[in-house]
């Protein structure tokens, strides 16, 4: 059941009907997610103004709100509008944009700023919405699939028949990882944290599903892959990193892209500094000498620091859209929240009980 609607209590309005965005003035709980009006945007020469119909919600947005997302502090600072992806309709284009017409349905990738009813984005980060997707599904597609694509095809490169293990496999990135690994010919073991997530993981194409709330995770993993896994994808952090590495076979790769277990689930939306500090101290440190002797690799990334790699982004989106339109992969299941309920959406995501992707819709 959703928590009661929590409408931000500050709504500055330059004029009625002006676009709105979420503004976080300083880190904290859900009450820091404040809606503000702003003046309509004008595109720069190489920019596209998008009338946003849906904005994707990612766990990284919650970390931004808490003040713990390094690239947010480095690239933007306070105040900040979170959000990495939007879908909508082109409202205006700059003088140098000749290949995109006003009225085109598009999806755009943003380096923050996506929690808004109107955004201005450089042309290379704007793409036509793939056939068959509505605005909500389109807004939930780029961030999770670009993350999964980079992890699978830029870092892991699993060989056909490789045994891979995906943690948090019923979430947005986890589900995308399952699908891309299956498409690459891997044997996929999906790990979920509750019985209601099993069917979601199976629907993504997992060959094996471990519900760690009902069975011992690593005992089941050893039964499925007695010699270990070729690749493990892990965004949990200290809760599983050590054992994820231990359960790699020789030449195996551990791909790290988050530290979710360091954040308290179902809390008050604030940082538990004692838990954060304790988990930081317990986080495994991988020694290159040991890794060399083990013949295992640890690979890690944060996609926001790769935003300027337009070559990778363009290739990834081209391949992903092609796979999507051929039916090789599917967009993640989405649950929509009205824009005014942004706090409820982040609260739900932090609970650890959601499946697929959450999006904010703009009426």
The Cα 11–Cα 29 span in angstroms is 18
- What is the third-level CATH fold of 144-304? Rossmann fold (3.40.50)
> Band of the pLDDT at 266, cuts 50, 70, 90?
low
State the average pLDDT for the chain.
Answer: 94
% of the chain exceeding 70 in pLDDT: 95
Is the pLDDT reported for residue 130 higher than 60?
yes
Q: Identify each DSSP E strand in the chain by its residue range.
A: 20-23, 34-37, 47-57, 85-93, 105-109, 118-122, 126-128, 163-166, 187-192, 208-211, 229-234, 248-256, 297-300, 334-338, 357-361
In order of 15, 91, 114, 117, 362, the CA distances from 50 in angstroms are: 20, 5, 11, 8, 12
Is the predicted pLDDT of residue 9 greater than 60, yes or no?
no
- Give the pLDDT confidence score for residue 14 in this predicted structure: 54
Examine the pLDDT at 303 and tell me if it is beyond 90.
yes
Q: Can you tell me the mean pLDDT for 49-65?
A: 97
Residue 258 clears pLDDT 60, i.e. is over it: yes
User: Residue 92 contacts by C-beta under 8 Å, 6 or more apart in sequence?
Assistant: 41, 42, 43, 48, 49, 102
Above pLDDT 90, what percent of the chain?
A: 91
d(CA 348, CA 335): 11
To the nearest 10 degrees (0 to 180), the angle between helices 172-183 and 142-149 is 50
Q: What is the pLDDT of residue 264?
A: 75
Position 6 scores a pLDDT of 41
Tell me if residue 45 falls in helix, strand or coil.
coil
Please identify, in words, the CATH class of the domain defined by 20-141+331-361.
alpha beta
For residues 2-6, average pLDDT: 40
Asked if the model's pLDDT at residue 15 lies above 70, the reply is no
At residue 263, the pLDDT reads: 84
Residue 5's pLDDT band (cuts 50, 70, 90):
very low
What pLDDT digit, counting tens, does each position of 305-352 carry?
999 999 999 999 999 999 999 999 999 999 999 999 999 999 999 999
Residue-range domain boundaries for the chain:
20-141+331-361, 144-304
**Quick one: pLDDT at residue 184?**
98
Averaged pLDDT for residues 40-49: 97
The predicted structure's pLDDT at residue 198 = 97
Specify whether the CB–CB gap between 180 and 147 falls below 8 A.
no
Average pLDDT, integer, range 53-62: 97
7 pLDDT band, cuts 50/70/90, is very low
pLDDT score at 17: 81
Average pLDDT, stretch 173-178?
A: 98
Whether 13 shows a pLDDT value over 50: the answer reads no
- Closest to 66 measured CA to CA, from 206, 216, 238, 273: 273
Q: Write down the pLDDT at residue 146.
A: 97
Angstrom distance (rounded) from CA 139 to CA 339: 13
How far is Cα 38 from Cα 7, in angstroms, rounded to an integer? 18
Answer whether residue 4 shows pLDDT above 70.
Answer: no
Q: What is the pLDDT of residues 133-145, one digit of tens each?
A: 999 999 999 999 9
């Amino acid at each position: 059941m959703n928590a009661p609607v929590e409408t931000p209590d500050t709504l500055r309005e330059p004029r009625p009907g002006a676009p709105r965005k979420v503004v976080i003035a300083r880190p904290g709980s859900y009450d820091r997610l404040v809606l503000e009006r702003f003046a309509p945007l004008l595109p720069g020469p190489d920019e596209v103004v998008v009338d946003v119909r849906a904005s994707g919600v990612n766990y990284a947005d919650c970390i931004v709100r808490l003040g713990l997302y390094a690239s947010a502090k480095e690239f933007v600072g306070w105040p900040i509008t979170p959000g990495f992806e939007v879908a909508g309709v082109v409202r205006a284009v700059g003088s140098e944009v000749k290949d995109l017409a006003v009225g085109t349905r598009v999806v755009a990738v943003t380096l923050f700023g996506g929690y808004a009813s109107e955004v201005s984005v450089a042309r290379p980060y704007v793409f036509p919405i793939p056939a068959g997707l509505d605005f909500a599904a389109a807004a939930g597609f780029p961030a999770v699939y670009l993350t999964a694509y980079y992890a699978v095809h830029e870092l892991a490169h699993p060989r056909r028949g490789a045994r891979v293990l995906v943690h948090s496999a019923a979430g947005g990135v986890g589900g995308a990882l399952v699908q891309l690994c299956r498409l690459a010919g891997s044997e996929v073991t999906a790990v979920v944290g509750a019985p209601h997530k099993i069917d979601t993981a199976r629907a993504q194409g997992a060959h094996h599903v471990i519900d760690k709330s009902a069975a011992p995770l690593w005992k089941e993993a050893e039964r499925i892959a007695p010699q270990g896994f070729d690749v493990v994808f892990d965004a949990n952090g200290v809760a599983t990193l050590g054992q994820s590495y231990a359960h790699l076979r020789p030449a195996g790769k551990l791909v790290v892209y988050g530290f979710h277990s360091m954040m308290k689930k179902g809390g008050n939306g604030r940082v538990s500094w004692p838990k954060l500090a304790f988990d930081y101290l317990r986080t495994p440190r991988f020694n290159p000498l040991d890794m060399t002797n083990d013949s295992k690799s640890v690979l890690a990334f944060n996609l926001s620091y790769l935003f300027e790699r337009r070559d990778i982004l363009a290739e990834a989106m081209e391949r992903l859209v092609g796979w999507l339109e051929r039916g090789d992969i599917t967009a993640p299941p989405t649950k929509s929240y009205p824009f005014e309920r942004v706090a409820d959406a982040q609260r739900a995501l932090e609970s650890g009980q959601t499946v697929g992707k959450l999006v904010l819709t703009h009426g």
